[in-house]
Amino acid sequence: MADRNGDDAGASTFVLGVIVGAAIGAVVGVLFAPQAGSDARSGLFDQSEKMRGRARSLGETGGDALRDAISEGRDAAGRARGEMEEWVRKTREGENRDS
């Protein structure tokens, strides 16, 4: 389980790095492009809108993954609880027979 959490954290860090890198690249590219100031500002605005859409999409995907993980965790906890209750019941039945 620790490995999975580490993988999730590494993936989140990677995605964040990609987003930040793309944003920095877009800003630098627009600033150094031979354009008029109004064209550069328009380009920055367009790029920021695209990045906002991508970030929103990634957030939704991450939210879906989180909901799935929570659901799987609850299912696993329910199964573990059922198995433990069954083990306790069998243990008690065995003790009652020995008495």
pLDDT given at position 3: 46
Mean pLDDT of 70-91: 92
Q: Which of the four pLDDT bands, split at 50, 70 and 90, describes residue 76?
A: very high
Rounded Cα distance between 54 and 18, Å, is: 11
Listed by start position, the domains of the chain span 2-98
Question: Which string of b and e fits 28-44 if b means at least 16 CB within 10 Å?
Answer: eebeeeeeeeeeeeebe
Residue 2 above 50 pLDDT?
no
pLDDT given at position 99: 60
Q: What is the pLDDT of residues 11-60, one digit of tens each?
A: 778 888 888 888 888 888 777 777 677 777 787 788 888 888 888 887 78
pTM value? 0.41
